[in-house]
Amino acid sequence: MVDSGVLTLYTLENVAQNGRMPKEELVSALSAFYSERNVGVTRLYAALGVNQRIDVLVRVWNVEELPDGVLYCIPEDGKQYRVTLAQRQPDLGAIDLTLERLDDKYDVAE
């Protein structure tokens, strides 16, 4: 069910002018409907085994594949997440994204 809202996927790019100090900001790459999923015990323990944290699992609908360089997302709650794993669901026309919440937020390019 596509009922959690709209998720925007971002790339992290250097937006500074030539010759200036690098300034990294999130640049929008794609927006899509999503639904939150339950993080299963197997997935949770597998992540803990490689010293990773899973904060949210979402299914992004009507997306066949992610654009190159998509590493971050912001759902409607406004929190920023790093995409740690993307798993295609070709039969559903969707992608499952495993997300880790960012402690330090990036600026978002307009």
CATH (domain of 24): 2.40.10.270
The tokens describing 21, both together, are 């100090």
Closest by CA to 57, choosing from 28, 89, 25, is 89
Q: Which two tokens stand for residue 17?
A: 């002018």
The total domain count for the chain is 1
In a domain, 110, yes or no: no
Domain holding 83, by residue range, is 5-105
In a domain, 21, yes or no: yes
Two tokens at 107? 């600026």
pTM for this entry: 0.83
In a domain, 94, yes or no: yes
pLDDT by 10s per residue, the chain, length 110? 567 889 999 999 888 889 889 899 999 999 999 998 887 666 665 666 667 777 888 999 988 788 888 789 999 888 999 998 898 988 888 999 989 999 889 899 87
Is residue 32 within 8 A of residue 63, CB to CB? The reply is: yes
